């Protein structure tokens, strides 16, 4: 059974595997074709952060969670870089296609709202995995840390990439211009990133700020990634995993609804 609507063909019980794979391939080739900007540049930025902190703080900084400060900092920088780039991948894809009018080329083929959502999300998750793999290897070589829990690390990298990829899609759907997308990044994503425990343990914050930080999904992504790499965390890693993937599925469901209704997608 199939019904045709304004945004393409909706099919029940069937999957357009060729169309879905084509969309996934396109979204991943977007960043792979310019890997110097999309992969190398974030790695250099993360390395500079680590270098500046190592020079500014020095070896006399007290341990955090029983770990030297640089070892504590490195997983947080890794996760922050991963989730910011997952957001950038899907948001830039969505807003650029809307501004140029090429969004029609994506909405017209016989792809269901679920297939569109999965296709874009795979682009964000793919970029997160590429950057995460290189950063993990860099941490092992440069910082000298191992990987305490590889499967937990993979789960948080993928979950964080999916959540921020879905959030980037939602921002790209809502924004109509590049400056609106910049406002979302500057006034929402950046504050949440810096209130995520990347540079500090949440227990070091005043009591009035700790509950605020703990309702931030990015805190659980950063904290979970730190647990996966170092085996230490401020929160229960199982709870953090549920929060991260629950948030990812919730935002992805909203994106699916936007595709289904054509919300702010009409040229």
As a whole number of angstroms, the distance between CA 142 and CA 160 comes to 24
Exposure string over 152-169, b if 16+ CB within 10 A, otherwise e? bbbbbbbbbbbbbbbbbb
Write out the H or E segment, with its range, that includes residue 84: helix 69-100
As a whole number of angstroms, the distance between CA 125 and CA 127 comes to 5
pTM of the predicted model as reported, rounded to 2 decimal places: 0.89
As a whole number of angstroms, the distance between CA 225 and CA 232 comes to 10
Tens of pLDDT, residue by residue, the chain (267 residues): 333 344 444 444 588 999 999 999 999 999 999 999 999 999 898 888 888 887 777 666 788 888 888 889 899 999 999 999 999 999 999 999 999 888 988 888 899 999 999 999 999 999 999 999 998 888 888 887 778 999 999 999 999 999 999 999 999 999 999 999 999 999 999 888 888 988 888 888 888 888 888 999 999 999 999 999 999 999 999 999 999 999 999 999 999 999 999 999 875
Q: For residue 176, which of 98, 102, 104 has the smallest C-alpha distance?
A: 98
Cα-based distances in Å from 157 to 17, 187, 208:
26, 24, 29
């Amino acid at each position: 059974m199939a019904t045709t609507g304004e945004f393409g063909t909706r099919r029940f019980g069937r999957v357009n595997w060729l169309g879905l794979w084509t969309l996934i391939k396109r979204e991943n080739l977007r960043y792979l074709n310019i890997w110097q900007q999309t992969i190398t540049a974030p790695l250099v930025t993360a390395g500079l952060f680590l270098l500046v902190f190592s020079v500014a703080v020095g070896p006399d900084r007290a341990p955090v969670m029983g770990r030297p400060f640089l070892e504590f900092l490195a997983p947080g920088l890794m996760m922050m870089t991963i989730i910011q780039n997952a957001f950038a991948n899907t948001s830039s894809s969505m807003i650029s296609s809307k501004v140029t009018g090429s969004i029609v080329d994506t909405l017209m083929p016989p792809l269901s709202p679920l297939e569109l959502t999965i296709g874009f999300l795979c682009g964000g998750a793919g970029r997160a995995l590429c950057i995460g793999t290189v950063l993990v290897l860099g941490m092992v070589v440069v910082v000298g840390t191992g990987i305490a829990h590889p499967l937990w690390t993979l789960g948080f990298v993928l979950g964080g990439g999916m959540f921020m990829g879905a959030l980037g899609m939602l921002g790209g759907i809502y924004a109509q211009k590049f400056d609106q997308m910049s406002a979302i990044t500057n006034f929402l994503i950046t504050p949440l990133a810096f209130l995520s425990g990347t540079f500090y343990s949440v227990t070091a914050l005043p009591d009035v700020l700790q509950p605020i930080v703990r309702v931030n999904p990015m805190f659980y992504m950063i904290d979970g990634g730190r647990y996966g790499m170092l085996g230490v965390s401020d929160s229960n890693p199982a709870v953090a995993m549920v929060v991260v993937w629950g948030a990812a599925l919730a935002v992805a469901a909203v994106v699916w609804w936007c595709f289904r209704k054509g919300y702010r997608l009409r040229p």
